[in-house]
Amino acid sequence: MKMHRNTWIHAAIGVFALASLAWAGTVAAATTTLKTVRDRGELNCGVNTGLPGFSQPDENGHWTGIDVDTCRAIAAAVLGDAGKIKFTPLNAKERFTALQSGEIDVLSRNTTWTLTRDASLGLNFTGTNYYDGQGFLVKKNLGVDTAKQLSGATICVQSGTTTELNLADYFRKNGMKYKPLVFDTSDQTVQGFASNRCDVLTSDRSQLAALRSKLQDPSSAKILPEVISKEPLGPVVRQGDDQWFNIVKWCLFAQINAEEMGINSGNVDQIRKDSKDPGVMRLLGTSGDMGKKLGLSADWAYRIIKQVGNYKEMFDRNVGPGTPLDLDRGLNALWTDGGILYAPPVR
Ligand SMILES: N[C@@H](CCC(=O)N[C@@H](CS)C(=O)NCC(=O)O)C(=O)O
């Protein structure tokens, strides 16, 4: 009997999800997301509930992080004001429904681009604002130096994530056994690890140092050297509105191209006034009609750079050396500096 009821509930949820997808598609076709956002005067951005360096509110409700700045760049380009945003905190499981249903215009929540998510959820991944990879945090008294020694371990992991899936793949591939202990939030996951319910915590590697610093005795745990997956994290939009897809895509590309051209929030006014470099002039809107092609004003990229900064400024401010995450650029360096950050040309 109970089985039947659950089956019905699942079916009803499925129908509802499909109906809201169709509805979102209709809305997009009728009005466009750009128009909706402009009429509203505010961008609805889905972010993490609280993840150091990526998206976190302070005690006054002011949000910071690389994912938050990615939203700010869109608001600057579309509304002329990086502050006109409503942030919706979402956990891993609820994030895609919030986007599908139209509750948010863009999801910017350390979300990994995978085939299944891209091709079967009615969503589009627009690019990568942080190249991450999965790793392990272990108690030092476990006496382990490599992930290959983790057979039989109990591992704390968050539900609804690629982390959970990669963990299963890794142990299967290496013929090892493990016991997953699954939680809904990263706070609960750290709690599980801190209270010795598991020997190992696994998550995107960018987070491990920050999670370790939350322990009562951070020196009791260490990060293993292995990177067991590719986690390209970036903003996501609904399928069915190509103009909005392009806008979100090119906001990030503008920040990356600005870094490559040596344009930042401090020198952008001077460069805009003086530069005769055709590429710089196209990006800053002093020549050509790049903004118009996106449905935006000519100074769309200037506003992003002036108000939010180029990619390097966004990286350094939120996750770079001297911040609690203290990450170096690594893969996230420009292609011209040995990394893989590469934005298509503005022309
Ligand atoms: N990038 C992965 C993992 C994303 C994820 O939710 N990671 C956890 C662990 S770092 C997190 O952000 N937790 C914060 C929270 O929900 O409180 C994915 O897209 O599935």
166 lines ligand 1 (CB under 6 A): no
186 lines ligand 1 (CB under 6 A): yes
The DSSP-derived string for 23-49 is HHHHHHHHH-HHHHHHHHTSEEEEEES
What is the C-alpha radius of gyration for the chain, rounded to an integer number of angstroms? Answer: 21
110 lines ligand 1 (CB under 6 A): yes
Return the pLDDT at 193: 96
Q: What is the DSSP secondary structure assignment for residue 51, as one 8-state letter?
A: B
156 within 8 A of 167, measured Cβ to Cβ: no
Ligand 1 midpoint to CA 297 (Å): 35
Return the pLDDT at 214: 83
Q: How confident is the model at residue 264 (pLDDT cuts 50, 70, 90)?
A: very high
Residue closest to 114 by CA, chosen among 104, 102, 103, 124: 124
Return the pLDDT at 11: 46
Q: How confident is the model at residue 210 (pLDDT cuts 50, 70, 90)?
A: confident
48 lines ligand 1 (CB under 6 A): yes
Q: How confident is the model at residue 30 (pLDDT cuts 50, 70, 90)?
A: low
Q: For residues 126 and 128, what is the distance between their CA atoms, to the nearest angstrom?
A: 7
The pick from 186, 189, 223, 228 for probing ligand 1's pocket by mutation, whose C-beta has the most ligand atoms within 8 angstroms, reads 186
Q: For residues 155 and 305, what is the distance between their CA atoms, to the nearest angstrom?
A: 42
92 lines ligand 1 (CB under 6 A): yes
111 lines ligand 1 (CB under 6 A): yes
Ligand 1 midpoint to CA 160 (Å): 8
Q: Is the pTM here over 0.75, yes or no?
A: yes
